[in-house]
């Protein structure tokens, strides 16, 4: 029944095509062009991009649509719900950027001889078809008839003039041939540079199981930014908000009973409904997006509040922050050895070591040595998503600055010695879920060093 309901929902979202409309499209060369594009090697692994291109083309040709909204594409193609808000979820803008680049690649390679080009101008999602101009090749150039007749009359007696006429024909070809070759080698060089850069990055990170499994695949990557307001609420109310409380329809009323006064309750209620994240988390997200482009991964930045549990069934994910800022971490905590907990008396958050090994502590608390010097901890782990079809990368730090520094450490082109030594000593680490617990030292909020406290291979 659930499967049938899901199929019915999909059918209601997809636009139906009547026989008349089908005949209209079949007679339109632009529709055939789009089908050649979606069947090309450039779109072979880009399922969502193919669906988006077919959707906006169909609407443009059949409805003569002058505007197509992000809401239309998100709900009609990408499976988003009716309450989709493009302010909170930029998936359409990200995918359209990928689509524009794929189209440019197609028309610079396989589609050079197509009669039309397909453009999607920035600021709109309506495709535009333009007649494609083709260069005139040297083979099509001929000597003017008058000169040909002159050559025939002169014959072999004036070989110098005959040679000049024939050479003049060649002179037409030389600059065109040079231009064509220069342009060809320019494209070849550009493509080679991109391929070389990508292969170099993959080679340098070949022993990094995090990057390899998150970015080097055809799965989309969702970067989930933290809810900074949630941290404020927990600090003010001295409580630990669970994922069930966070996704409840009664949120935030269900957690405001601990407010000290009606005024505080009112302020916190208004704050909870706003959507803010920290600058440190934005820097982490930007770093992830930059790296994903190097690998050609499809990446979307999502806000914690706009996620739901079913989102974690498909694709790869990067969760930025502990469960105090991103409650979705709670769904994967049972697999981890280092649990992020709060002391009910002191209200201080710390890491508890569930199964201490030789030389390890049972509790790891942040330490403030002086006004500006601190020691904190970061737990980095990679675990399967809910259906075990992809991976979730957890960046679980006690502070936002530590999260940002851990990203710089982990997502570097060359692995730092503190991690490369660890990976090299464990040859099978790339095939398992793993957890790495780090101690970081910071001065005035800037992390100066990391050391590996423990490493676990997870079941």
| Per-residue pLDDT tens over the stretch 58-76 | 998 888 878 899 999 999 9
Element (H, E) at 384: strand 373-384
Give the model confidence (pLDDT) of 374-393 as tens digits.
788 889 999 999 999 999 99
Quickly list DSSP for 121-183: -TT----EEEEPP-PPPGGG----HHHHHHHHHHTTTTHHHHHHHHHHHHHHHHHHHHHHHHH
Give the model confidence (pLDDT) of 158-213 as tens digits.
333 333 333 344 444 445 555 555 555 455 555 444 444 444 444 344 456 677 77
Does residue 228 surpass a pLDDT of 80? yes
| 318 confidence band (pLDDT: 50, 70, 90) | very high
Phi, psi angle pair for 413, to nearest 5°: -55, -40
CB 333 within 8 A of CB 435: no
pTM across the whole model: 0.56
* pLDDT (0 to 100) of residue 372: 62
Q: What per-residue string of b and e applies to 259-274 under the rule 16 or more CB within 10 Å gives b?
A: beeeeebeebeebbee
Q: Considering only CA atoms, which of 357, 380, 360, 392 is closest in space to residue 436?
A: 380
Rounded to 10 deg, the angle between the 91-108 and 47-62 helix axes is 90
Write down the domain spans for the chain.
17-131, 138-192, 209-227+275-458
* pLDDT (0 to 100) of residue 327: 92
386 burial class (0-12, 13-18, 19+ CB within 10 angstroms)?
Answer: middle
Q: Who has greater pLDDT, 323 or 12?
A: 323
* pLDDT (0 to 100) of residue 145: 41
């Amino acid at each position: 029944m659930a499967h049938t309901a899901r199929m019915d929902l999909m059918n209601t979202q997809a636009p139906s095509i009547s026989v008349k409309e089908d005949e209209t499209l079949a007679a339109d060369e632009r529709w055939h062009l789009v089908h050649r594009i979606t069947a090309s090697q450039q779109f072979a692994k880009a399922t969502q991009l193919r669906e988006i291109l077919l959707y906006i083309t169909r609407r443009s040709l059949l409805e003569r649509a002058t505007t197509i909204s992000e809401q239309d594409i998100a709900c009609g193609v990408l499976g988003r719900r009716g309450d989709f808000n493009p302010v909170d979820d930029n998936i359409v803008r990200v995918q359209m950027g990928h689509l524009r680049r794929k189209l440019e690649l197609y028309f610079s390679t396989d589609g050079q001889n197509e009669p039309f080009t397909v453009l999607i101008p920035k600021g709109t999602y309506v495709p535009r078809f333009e007649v494609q101009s083709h260069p005139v090749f040297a083979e099509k150039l001929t000597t003017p008839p008058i000169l040909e007749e002159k050559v025939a009359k002169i014959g072999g007696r004036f070989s110098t003039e005959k040679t000049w006429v024939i050479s003049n024909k060649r002179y037409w070809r030389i600059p065109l041939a040079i231009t064509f070759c220069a342009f060809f080698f320019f494209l070849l060089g550009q493509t080679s540079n991109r391929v070389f850069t990508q292969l170099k990055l993959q080679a340098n990170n070949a022993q990094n199981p995090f990057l390899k499994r998150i970015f080097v695949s055809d799965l989309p990557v969702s970067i989930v930014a933290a809810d900074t307001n949630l941290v404020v609420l927990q600090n003010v109310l001295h409580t630990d908000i669970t994922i069930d409380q966070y996704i409840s329809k009664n949120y935030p009323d269900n957690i405001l009973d601990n407010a000290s006064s009606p005024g505080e309750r009112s302020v916190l209620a208004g704050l909870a409904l706003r959507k803010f994240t920290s600058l440190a988390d934005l820097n982490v997200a930007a770093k992830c997006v930059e790296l994903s482009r190097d690998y050609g991964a499809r990446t979307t930045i999502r806000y914690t509040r706009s996620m739901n549990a079913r989102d974690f069934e498909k694709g790869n994910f990067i969760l930025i922050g502990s469960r105090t800022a991103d409650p979705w971490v709670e769904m994967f905590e049972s697999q981890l050895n280092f649990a992020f907990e709060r002391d009910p008396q002191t209200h201080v958050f710390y890491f508890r070591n569930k199964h201490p090994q030789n030389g390890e502590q049972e509790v790891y608390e942040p330490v403030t040595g002086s006004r500006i010097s601190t020691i904190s901890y970061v737990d980095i782990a990679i675990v399967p998503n809910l259906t075990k079809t992809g991976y979730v990368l957890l960046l679980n730090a006690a502070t936002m600055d530590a999260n940002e520094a851990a990203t710089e450490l982990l997502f570097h082109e060359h692995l730092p010695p503190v991690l490369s030594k660890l990976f090299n000593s464990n040859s099978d680490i790339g095939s398992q879920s793993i957890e790495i617990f780090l101690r970081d030292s910071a001065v005035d909020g800037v992390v100066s060093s990391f050391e590996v406290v423990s490493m676990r291979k997870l079941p």
